[in-house]
Amino acid sequence: MFPRLSNSWQLVKASAAVLRADKELLVFPIVSSIVAMLVTASFWVPAYASGLSEQIFGPNAQRGPLAYAFLFGFYFVQYLVVFYFNSALVGAALIRLQGGDPTAADGFRIANANLSNLMGYAAIAATVGVALRFAADRGGRGGQWVSRIGGAAWTMASYLVVPVLVAEGLGPMDAVKRSTQLLRRTWGEQVIGGVGMGLVFFLVLLPLIALGTVAILAVTGSGSVVLIAAVVIVFVLALIGLVLVQSALGGIYTAALYRHAEGGDVSAFYPRQLVAQAFRSKPGR
């Protein structure tokens, strides 16, 4: 466990070195989060106002064709937003890993150039999401297990789809197939590394929450509404900042893993020994 945690921490530091070289990469998760919230509000506010939300997630919900059509539309738009900004982040990170000096404009240019493929991939992902939801709704306990296992399998198979779309210009179906091939080639280390990085951020999050809680409790007795509000705002902004940094580092890590899997050199930021341990290949590949 401890060697894996040590490797994960080294991955975080190496990815952070890329982010320090190109701080503008933070633009993409920031804007993505804002747009995603606007998309969510644009779908769910009318759904609550019309009562459609009760048909979808109410205590006695019986989802019919309209509910699944709504979910597909929501999934499609939300996935498109996520994939668009992820492709911008990954594309810019790949430029840096190849020795270039990307700008935010480069990332958006790459995302725009791949917009049609990203839309196709979003449609596939939305279809998978609705199918898994349908299986969970109509298949009883067995359907719920199918949904969970299918969701995990889809996440693994599609892990490298965005860098494949960005770097190779493949169509969405071919990109999913290519991502699956790379999954086998790297023996699933992308999943383990991603989980490990998530664990590192969780360990950072715990003391942040503890410190924020102590600070809020300490100022509560002051009776100053302004001071309490200021502490709460700082605490919330710190949490948001941590989430945004984690998102940016996750995209950078994905770009580095893809470049390594394709035989590219990432040693400018990721030490060779770390690459050998964290990105090791499946024997015989």
Better pLDDT: 221 or 131: 131
Give the residue-averaged pLDDT of 44-50.
85
How high is the pLDDT of residue 20? 86
Q: How many domains in the chain?
A: 1
For residue 174, how far is the Cα from the chain centroid?
A: 21
CA distances from 80 to 150, 199, 255 (A): 21, 27, 19
Q: Can you give the pTM of this predicted structure?
A: 0.83
Structural domain range at position 165: 1-285
Residues 136, 147: contact at Cβ < 8 Å? yes
Query: Could you read off the pLDDT of 105-117 as tens digits, one per residue?
Result: 999 999 999 999 9
Query: Could you read off the pLDDT of 116-173 as tens digits, one per residue?
Result: 999 999 999 999 999 998 888 777 778 888 888 988 888 888 888 999 999 988 899 9
Residues 164, 178: contact at Cβ < 8 Å? yes
Residues 133, 153: contact at Cβ < 8 Å? no
